[in-house]
Amino acid sequence: MERISIILPAKNEAEGLLRTLPALRQLYPHAELIVVDDGSTDTTAEIGRS
């Protein structure tokens, strides 16, 4: 099985990640999801780590 990585650049995208990450996990259950936080002041980094 091939492994894919999905890279999501994000800055202050906590709300968007709460919608996007579960959808991506459902569509691509074996994919590696990488969130690259660019100094967010909201909870983007915490959501990306979860």
DSSP annotation of 38: -
Q: What is the mean pLDDT of residues 4-32?
A: 97
Instruction: Give me the pLDDT at residue 50, please.
Output: 87
pTM above 0.75, yes or no: yes
The tens digit of pLDDT for each residue in 23-44 reads 999 999 999 999 999 999 999 9
Compare 44 and 1 and report the one with higher pLDDT: 44
Q: Could you write out the DSSP letters of every residue in the chain? A: ----EEEEEESS-HHHHHHHHHHHHHH-TTPEEEEEE-S-SSSHHHHHH-
User: Domain residues of the chain, as ranges?
Assistant: 5-49
Look-up of token digits 């099985």: 1
Per-residue confidence band for 2, with pLDDT thresholds at 50, 70 and 90: confident
